[in-house]
Every structure is written in C-alpha cells, then in structure tokens.
A and B are shown apart, each in its own frame.
Chain A
Amino acid sequence: MRNYPLGRALARGAVVSALAVSMLNTSVHAQSVDLSKWSPEYVRSIAGTEEYDTAKECGAVTPLDYKGKLTFWYQGVFEGDPDLLRQYYKEFFEAFRATYPNIDLQEQALTYNDLLDKFRTALLGNAGPMVVRLQILGGVEFASKGYLQELSPEDVGWKSEDFWPGAMKSVMWEGKAYGIPTNNETMALIWNADIFERAGLDPETPPATWDDVVAYSKQIHDKLGVSGYGLVARKNAGNTPYRFMPQLWAYGGGVFDEADPSPTYGEVRLDSDASKAALQASYDMYVRDQSVPVSALTNQQADNQPLFLAGQLGMMISHPSDYNVMLDLQAKATGSDKEKAQTVIDNMRYGLIPTGPDGKRAVVFGGSNIHILNPEYVEGGEVDEAAAKAMVCFWTSPEWSLKMAYAGSNPGNLNGFKTKWMKERLETIKFLDVTTSMLPYGIPFPTLPETPEIMNIIIPDMLQNVLTGAMTVDEAAADAAQKVRDITEGGGL
C-alpha cells in the first residue's frame, strides 16, 4: 500500500519544482528584494536603506495593550552557537515583553536534536504549545497530520513575496501554507590557511571539488598528523545531513530527485552510482586514508569547533557564526592556548562548498519556520490567537528575523536585508558574503512527512554502516534505499 498516490506526488512535485525554480528565478513577482540581482554587491547596496517600526507593524495585527497568554516552544541556541546570538535571543524576549506587557508569555527553548521528539510526544497527549518554531524539515510532518493551523505571512501583516520562495514552499502542504519562515541559511567551507600552507597546499585556495577535499584531507593528515576534514556522521543529529547532503547532491546523487529542477519524489536514488560515489568519498577519508576525526561517528559540529580552534582540523563545513564561536572560545582560553587560538582565527578562511565531478555545487537550504497549533493539540485546549499572531509577527518582522539570524543565518523576511542592522552585520560578521553567496545553490530537503526520519536516522545509519565496515558501500546504499522505499510505502521497521 502506498501512502502517496501518484496524483498527490506529482502535484507535490510540481509545487516543489516551482520552489526550486523560483528560488533561482529572475522574475519573482512583487518581491521587495530582487532575487534576480542576488550577489554580495547587491546585498550591500540594499542594506540600511529602509527603516521598520516593529511595534507599529505588529500593533496593527494585535493591539499593543492586548491582554492574553501564550505558550511558545522554539529551537533555541545551543553549545555550538556564539554568545552574540544568545544576547539577541535574550533581547528578543525582553523586547516582546516590553511591547506586549499584558501578554503572559511562557517560552521554552529546546535544542535542534531534542525539539522534534519532545514536540511529537506533547502532541500525542494534546499538550503542545500554542506556537512553535521548528527546523525547516519539521513543518510538513506536522501539517500533514493536521496539527498546525493554516498560517501565511498575510495573517500577520507581511506579504508572502517578502519571504524566500524556497522557504515558503517548505511550509506548504497540499497547496496551503502552515507557517512562516523565520530564517534561512546556507553554509560554506571553512579552512585553516596556515594548515594548508604547512601541508604544501595553496593557503588561499579552497578545494574546488569534493575529490579535492578527499585529496587535501589526506595530504594534511599525512604531512601534519592532524585531521584534514571535519566529517560528521552522528545519528539523530541535524549536523550530519547538513554536511553530507551537499556532498551527495554534488556527486549527482540524492535521496529522491530533490536536487532536480522538477522533483517528484517518486524515485529513490540513494543506491544510484552517483550516490555511491559520494558515500565512497566519505569512506575514503574515514577508512582508507584515516584523514578525518575518528570521533566523527559520535561528533557534532560543536565537537569540530574546538578541534579547529586547536589547530587539529584543516577544513569543515559550517555557518558564518563559527567565526564568532571561535572568538568566544578564544576569549575563554588561557596562556599559550590563547595565542594558538588567535593564530587559527587569523588563518580562518571561508569559501564556496566544493562541486562534484561535473561542476555541480549544492548546499542544504536550511532554516526554521514558525507555526500556530490547532487548539485541540494544545495544553488546555485553547489557542490565544491574538497573542500567537503577535509572537509570529514579532519574530518574522524585518528587524527580529534579521537580528535572530544575526551571526549564523539570514532573515526569513527579505526586508531584513534592507535594515540598518544588516548594514551593521555586514561590517561586523566576517565571511557573511560567502555564505549568502551560497544561497542560490540551496536545495531544500524533500517536503515529505518522512523527511525527518530519512535525514536524522537513515542517512546517518548509511554513513555509519560504511564507516564502521559493517557494510560495503554498495550494501549500505542498497540498505538505505530500501529503508526509504519501505517508509514511503508505509512499511519497514
């Protein structure tokens, strides 16, 4: 029995293809930011050109003297985030309480890896919060089950055109919107120029292809005895798919056809030759060359950061915020460690994520979305709609969608790029240009209810099976492909 009739799959495919095309398209209607001109220069040219009054804008949605109650869960900051972001989260809730002093806000921060499990459990007991901010791959799962209310930017005073078209598609289920993007992100390759130089590589030139990453990683390890590339293969951790999927797509592979211009999700491609080539590259680094951290199977990116700062890691994939994380960590170091850390920071470089053998470059189009729940799944059985919309409006405003994504991401509301804080951000956050330049290469995760399981469990399992030698590349790819087929057909353990 298939869960997804062909008609539905094609319809969804058409929607998603529109997303992929529109993300890169040059003719997005009525968009206040012209994505067709997207470049670091264009981003600089629009920064600081508009002013927004968040209280006034949101006051038109929910009166500022409104008295109510709101429960709110969100994916908050964690150990791998910079202190700067912590400060903005603190200021956000202070500002919300100052703007809406009569709304009794009960917020709860959860880490990326805990949020989905806890939210699912709460929903089973009809004990969810009124509003939730979820990772981008989570929304469809809950919308498809009927947990979420229909919600579009127009409901809180914004225009759909003012959000990344790709991001808007991630909140769509069967043609209706069930949330609003808060932030969107693409990552970049980070390398240590000093390590490159000492290993005999050009310190200012990143690896052009993933094959180069494999070769550079080996050269670094062989010459210096440190890890070349910061492979991450932990299970149940978002960091793993965010780093492996760009590699998989670059080689021409995919879980389905999500990297194609018109994906339909009808064909599983994890066992294709291209997907196996990507898996082989990871095998070569971990098993054959032993040029990556042995702890990759239990590591998250937060574990790579101190390795990088200690000069024990040559390359990794991450956000622009990692530069600030390094500054935070360096500030906590003492004695000679402080100097060593400073040397690493001075030699930190950002570049585009490498391409596959055919020149294909890809990165996960990530981020988060904010949603309002249906009352029957909320603790107490009621949703304070006005208070919920006040929160959604506040977070998705140009001001706060920019500030809350300050160091690590990009504003969900495109008007955030026009604010004075964007100008300030461009001047203070190093390497922001590089990661924003990756946005046109962004590929969204498949918009299927099964995507969280595929990305957080099946993909890491496939990697671990290969890297531990439990299976060959062919066996692991076939095993993972079969699991994906099973779950999309409603079966499998």
Chain B
Amino acid sequence: MLRRTLGKAVLATPLAAPALAQSGPVEISFWHGLAQPLGGILEGIANQFNQSQNRFRIVSSFRGSYPETMVAAIAGFRSGTAPHIVQMFEVGTGTMMAAGRAIKPLHELLRETGVTINFDDYLPAVKGYYSLADGRMMAMPFNSSTAIMFYNKDAFRRAGLNPDQAPATWAEMRTAAARLRAGGVEIPVTTAWPTWTQVEQFSAIHNIPLATLDNGFGGLNAELRINNPLMVRHLNTLMEMGREGTFRWGGRDGAGDALFANGSSGMIFASSGARARFVRELPGGIANLGVAMLPYYNDVQGAPINSIIGGAAFWAMNRGPNAARSADENRGIAEFFAFLAQPRVVAAWHTETGFLPVTQTAFREVQATGFYTQNPGADIPIQQLLRGGGQMTGNSRGIRLGGFVEIRTAMQEEMERALQGQQTAQQAMDNSVTRGNVVLRNFERTNRG
C-alpha cells in the first residue's frame, strides 16, 4: 500500500521522477477492463514482463467493464491522473483516434524510443483496425476477437440435423432453425452483441458499407448507411424468425451468451472470446460445442468476405491536458508493448483464452503444436478473418466512427422496437441512421479543432 502511494507521488511530481528512477524501477500504470479469469491471465503477463527486466514495473489495475475503463481513463486525463496504458475496446477506437494530445500515438512512441515491433506480422484485419489511412499504427493490438457462430451439437442431433455441418447461409439457417424448433429446442437461434454480429459484422462480410468514407476511416464527416436494402432485408429475416419462434432476442451486449451457455439455445452468434465460457458451462462441454463461421446470403454478389475484429487494444496516454510523459516512461511503455508482440506471449494468450492469435508467427507456432486438431473449431475465427482471400475492402477493414458507443445503443433500441412489432425494419434502420448521424455530427463538431 505504501509503495503504491509512493508510486503515485512519484508520478505526480515530475521533478522527483528522474532522481528516483535511478534507485528503482519506473512504474507504468496499466488500466484494464477484463474481469476474472481473463483479467488474472492478463495481469500474469504483465508480471512476466516485470520479472523479465528490472528497469520498469507495470502496475496493473482492473477498472470495471470496457465502457467503465474508458470513462475512468477519460476522467483520469481530465484531472491529470491518466494511466500510462489503457485497454480500450474496439468501439472506443474512433473516440481515441480523435483524442489529440490525450493519447501518444504508437508510431510516435516507437519512433522516439527506438523500439521496433514488426507490424507486418500482424493479421491484416487487426493491424488495419488500429492504423491510420497511411498505415501508421495508433494503438497496440492485443486481445482481438471476432464474431462467430456456436451451435449445440446435441440439439442438432435431437432435431435430426448433421452435428458436424453447421448451416452456412441464411437460407440454411432458417431451415435448420425450423427443424430445431420442431425438435423441441426452446430457442433455435439467438445472438450476443446484437449490433456487432447482426449489423456491423453482417455488413462487413457482405461487403456493404456501414458508413460512408470507408466506415469512417476516411474522416470525421462520415454518415451511416445502414438503411440499405440488404440490411433491411436481414432485419426482416430476424423479425420473421422472431414471429415464427425460431429467433429470440437475447438482450443487449453480452447478455445473450447465457442462453447458449445453459443449453437452451441451439445456435448463437457471439464473440470468439466466449469460447472459454461455453467449454466450461455448456452441458456436454467441449464435445457438444460446434463452431462455425457467420452465415451469409448466397445471392449477394461477392459475399462472404472477411469479418472484422472486436476485443480491445492498448493505448498509451498522456497524464493530463498539460503533462507529457518523460522519456523513461515512454521507453517503459514501448518495451512492454514489444514484450506483448512476442510470439510466445501472443500464442499463450490465444490458447488460454480463445481470443485471436494476433500475429501470423504465433498462429503458425500454435498450428505446429497440434492445438487445432486437439481443439476443433479453435481456428474458425482466424479462418473467417481471412475469408474471401483476406483482401480487405473499405467495408471490411473495420469501423472508425466517433461516439460509436452511443450509436450502438441507438441501433439496439431501434432493433428492439422493430422486433416488438412497433415499427418496420425500414423504419428501424432509417431511425438508426438519423439518430446515429446526429451523434456523428456532434462528434465532428467537438473534435474539429
């Protein structure tokens, strides 16, 4: 406790820092938003870094959920006590990119400290998400995931479906869902993270824009485009399935996971990071857990292509509006990032948690150990990220929209109203666009300067 207080005092008085840096390690504060068991595994990695050298010490602290961590970091910056490193979920990327001197762009940090990380080795989808249009990296990718489909093999068997073959298209989905329903499965299809899986990922794999200017990568003046015919058609599909009793709204954000974990749902769209939980909780365990790629409409030209990533990345932050970091502190941050890029660290995190192996070297190393043959389906997320040849388009590179947390909430609300029968699919998507664009314009206005 005393040490921690002392550490804070050191950070608060820049004059004293160089004097103490010679006598002890430079402390680097690191705020993350992962609950147990993931948080513990993450902090374990930070401890490994601490033991690997004696110049820097990472002080990890759990700050609640992803949105709470984001809010805490922003409040910290406003009061001059921001952490050196913050874990930020992908939805906050647009906000962080536009954060000006609140953040220390990764490319700048690496250039100033002379630390090198080979980003060519990173999966294109991961690298693209956190880089500027010209390819310069803004944040350190770490725990990336993507949306995939999990299915209950036992439920498939009971319904007379082949448990080794998941439906690949939406037409097949509906047939399979109807069979599951007839076979007594309470909830044939549900979803976690509804807008992420059914709007954002859906748009990416069908190569249609979520927003103009390459989903916001091209500038702050992007506008939402989700009221397009395909998106409306898809929401209609979900609404029809809802009326037929083959699709159940599982709630916002990650709430839907519970419906699959307790065995009442036959198929779910969820984060690949949910794998660890399903293996542990699903009745029948891993033998009962089917993993497949997201389904698509096969009459859409060119579909499917790669899905996009979710999860979080690490951002280096400045302490406050008028306080930059010392060279020592920046050096510590950069070296910790370089540690995180090591194939062995990436591979261990991937196999322990179900998040993606973010570098190609780590993926090959894990492949060589035979992990994927022992854990069938564990490589589905990465295959899906490379689907369609891995050539990303402006629609499948990612999303870079400011205020996206708010836009997601608006989309979820409009979808809920549509699924309740209070409005049509077209109205839901039109309203989402109108409300989302208000958020985008406000963000553009406050971040112009």
Q: Do A and B bind each other?
A: no
